[in-house]
Structure 1
Amino acid sequence: MVRLPDASWLRTAITRRLVRHAFGRLPLRVRFEGGETIGLGGPLMEIHDTAAFHRRIGAGGLIGFGESYMAGEWEARDLVGVLTVLAERLADLVPRPLQRLRPLWAPRQPAAQRNTPEGSQDNISRHYDLSNDLFALFLDETLSYSSALFRGFPADRSLLAAAQHRKIDRLLDQAGVGPGTRLLEIGTGWGELALRAAARGATVRTVTLSREQLELAVERIRAAGYEDRVSVELLDYRRVEGVFDAIVSVEMIEAVGAEFWPAYFTTLDRLLVPGGRIALQAITMPHDRMLATRHTFTWIQKYIFPGGFLPSVEAIEEITAARTALRVVESDGFGPHYAETLRLWRERFTERAEEADALGFDAVFRRLWTFYLAYSEAGFRSGYLDVRQMTLTKETPR
């Protein structure tokens, strides 16, 4: 059960007024437990425990909003639809004069979640070491836990594995990976990209901080007969030594933390040969929202990705230009593809709820995970989030 937090009467009363004001201006229907409905029409959100709902938001803002869903205090048949409406208007839900008071009420990220080499190990473990069996419930057979690249919409589940391979192959093409390439992969996942790179004749060194992922990746690499071409190590990216012709990293920069972005890119710069190529796949947010939220502790950070923070394209370009010889030469966004990827994952996870329960993941966890997948999908459907494949090259010294 999600404990009901302490909150002052005054703070809860103010929250009640702000919430009603916000909902009244949105294309939603919000039905309170007594039957009163407000909003301009649209997806229906039903609040079963109004007092607890306001109290949680009063105590924790958007963290409380997510916790209220976890506790079953509100429901929505079209959860993604409700969350998409909110994501589209996230910057304006709180009146602008009150937004200046954000530092006074918004929770700040705990120091324990800083992505030092030791902190990163703990942060990664809390998500990726939950259970390989859990992830296998909703991922396709490639075990790819990042956006696929489809040929058309709506996406079909039977084509998800092919769409994941299309995404991986495009990254390998961007990085120029072929026979004899010395490739570094930062963030192994369950090994699918390393397998496809090895099949091209590359020599792959791949690093991860997840023990669960490492064990299964090693098994898959052994089964495919690529032990001589792929090495998998439990190692922080900052501690990698050597030189590489190409580097690929898929949706790993989100776990680096803004404080350590300069260290991340200077490490890539140090490891890449002059004239080498890097292919990154990164979830991004608008630069102004990144600046406004960079010190805020969010529901995603508390429950899903501790220490995580999304960069903007501008932030990546600024840091690489100022600190490294790396330059972004290509940047392609495909956010709608992530929305469809997440939809397929969410539908599959819902269908296999009983199997998740048998693995020991209770009803509160399943609501948490459903909210996470829907919340993320809504971010991409609204355009608040994007996912990009970015190619960087290292300038050759004159």
Structure 2
Amino acid sequence: MPDVPARARIAKRIFHAAVRGLRVRVHLPGGRVIGGGGFGDPVMRIVRPDEFHRRVGAHGLVGFGEAWMTGAWDADDPTGVLTVFARSMGTLVPPPLQKLRRWAVAVRPADEENTPSGARGNISRHYDLSNDLFALFLDETMTYSSALFEPGDELADAQRRKIDAVLDSAGVAAGTRLLEIGTGWGELALRAAQRGADVVTITLSEEQRTLARRRFEEAGLADRIDVRLCDYREVSGTYDAVVSVEMVEAVGERYWPAYFAAVDRALAPGGRACIQSITMADDRMRAARDTWTWMHKYVFPGGLIPSPEAVDESLAAHTRLRVVHRRDFGPHYAETLRLWRERFLAHADAVEALGFDPTFRRMWEFYLAYCEAGFRSGYLGVSQFTLARRVR
């Protein structure tokens, strides 16, 4: 492969050629503007071109994100810029160079493998950052997944609507024995217990379990909710319903069979499960399955977003379950992320007071903008899969 200066020159040529065909304006030092955008289109500012091209040339999209973190490029509307790029992900790199992709992208580190011990470490790296940090940008429900909006909704209303849709899909009512895989900070378990269900909810995050437990006690529902520090592979017993919201993305492709088999094993005859997951197109998923991205390195180690086809295939090969209904609502995630990013930026001083430095704050802003762009462009989706046993 070319050396670092040569890769930087190649990255510069590819980047300049790519943006000529995109509705984005790229401002360079000295006043030069490139790109196919006009007035009103998103503006990207390359602050330190040599560093920007060196990082992109050396590390591709990982370097692109790192260049934002260091301030080598900037934008008043990073979501707008990233949405333009996301809509053209398949054509940004010329086809002849795409054939070199497997030599140019980083492979996943072995220590991010989602073995039982590895999964605990991967989850801890994100969810154990600080309950106070998440509280700054989440709403009062402390729900960290896509909301489901109706006109006039506040974010908390839309989060409760999403949770109710999951519980309804799984048939959760008074007397239901419910298993939740992935506690979060406890809002789903609380709403299920308020319906009269008896809940076992599992998490690998110490921080989440501590806060969830406190919330259950304060609501007077601790006798109905058993929150356990437990891997999904360790679950025992059977339940009338199983739910899991945006957990499967963290499992990793190698362990999807074990994850879905655990759901199947836990579900009593006649029961239903509802799994909410971020999704991506099958061809994109297969192209990304062995790569190590900026998101893996800095935010969510060890995971892979499944395609709907991958969910169907894993269920068919390893369980008695089938998808009997699917609700898709990707645009709702874009709105959820927009509100999270607004809240995060509005609380910049409080984030700093918690001890998070400027590089972390730029990283987190990029993460939220990057994800929002994925949903706004249609590159990503989100679905609720209702599962039931196949009829023989």
Shorter-chain TM-score range? over 0.9
Distance 1:319 1:139 in 2: 32
1:338-393 per-residue CA deviation (whole Å, 9 max, x = no partner) reads 10010001001000000000000111100000000000000000000001111000
Q: Aligned pair 1:370/2:365, yes or no?
A: yes
Report if aligned partners of 1:274, 1:395 keep a CA contact under 8 Å in 2: no
1:29 pairs with 25, 29, 50, which one? 25
Q: Aligned to 1:305, which of 292, 297, 300?
A: 300
1:270 corresponding residue in structure 2: 265
Tell whether 2:290 aligns with 1:291.
Answer: no
Counterpart amino acid of residue 19 in structure 1: F
After superposition, what is the alpha-carbon deviation per residue over 1:148-197, rounded to whole angstroms, capped at 9, x for unaligned?
11103xx76xx111111100001100000011111000000000000000
Q: Number of aligned pairs?
A: 388
| Corresponding residue for residue 93 of structure 2 | 94
In 2: Cα distance, 1:61 partner to 1:174 partner? 41
Which residue is equivalent to 2:240?
245
SS in 1 for 2:386: strand
Check whether the contact 1:7–1:55 (CA below 8 A) recurs between aligned residues: no
Contact 1:275–1:395 (CA<8 Å) still a contact in 2? no
Give identity over the alignment, percent.
Answer: 60
Equivalent residue for 2:69?
A: 70
How far off is 1:7 after superposition?
A: 6.0
Deviation sequence 1:104-131 (CA, Å, 0-9, x none):
1110111110100000000000000000
2:128 aligns with 129
Q: Indicate the residue corresponding to 1:53 in structure 2.
A: 52
Mark the runs of 5 or more structure 2 residues left unpaired by the alignment: none
Q: Cα distance, 1:394 vs. partner?
A: 1.8
Distance 2:209 2:340 in 1: 22
CA distance in 1, matches of 2:22, 2:155: 34
Q: One-letter code of the match for 1:286?
A: A
Which residue of the partner structure matches residue 206 of structure 2?
211
Partner of 2:163: 168
Matches of residues 210-359 of structure 1 in structure 2 within 5 Å?
A: 210-359=205-354
| 1:90 aligned counterpart, secondary structure | coil
Pairwise CA distance, 1:252: 0.4
Give the corresponding residue for 1:109.
108
1:395 is matched with which residue?
390
Distance in 2 (alpha carbons) for counterparts of 1:7 and 1:234? 47
Aligned mates of 1:7, 1:226 — CA distance in 2: 61
| 8 A contact 1:272–1:394 mirrored in 2 | no
Q: Which amino acid aligns with 1:182?
A: R
What is the CA-CA distance between 1:283 and the residue it aligns to? Answer: 0.2
Separation of aligned partners in 2, 1:113 and 1:287: 23
Deviations 1:279-303 (A, max 9, x none): 1110000001001111110000000
Could you tell me how far apart the structure 2 residues matched to 1:292 and 1:96 are?
14
The Cα offsets for residues 265-317 of structure 1, whole Å up to 9 and x where unpaired, read as 11111111122100111000000100111111000000000011100000000
Distance 1:150 1:315 in 2: 27
- Contact 1:175 1:246 survives alignment (8 Å): yes
Are 1:13 and 2:9 an aligned pair? yes
SS in 2 for 1:56: helix
Q: Secondary structure at the match of 1:45?
A: strand
2-structure distance, mates of 1:127, 1:324: 30
RMSD across aligned positions (CA):
1.2
CA deviations 1:303-338 (Å, max 9, x no partner) are 000011100000000110122100000111101111
Provide the secondary structure at the position in 2 that maps to 1:145: coil
* Pairwise CA distance, 1:34: 2.7
Q: Secondary structure at the match of 1:125?
A: helix
Q: Which moved more, 1:279-288 or 1:90-99?
A: 90-99
Amino acid at match of 2:26: V
Bigger drift between 184-193 and 92-101 goes to: 92-101
Which amino acid is 1:48 matched to? V
Hey, what's the Cα distance between the residues in 2 that align with 1:142 and 1:7?
Answer: 50
Q: Kindly provide the CA deviation profile for residues 33-80 of structure 1, in whole angstroms up to 9, marking residues without a partner as x.
A: 232211111211000100000000011100000000000111111111
Residue identity opposite 1:81 in structure 2:
G
Deviations 1:236-265 (Å, cap 9, x if unpaired)?
Answer: 000111111100000000100011111111
Counterpart among 26, 31, 38 of residue 34 in structure 2: 38
For 1:249 and 1:91, how far apart are their aligned partners in 2?
31
Gaps of 5+ in 1: 1-5
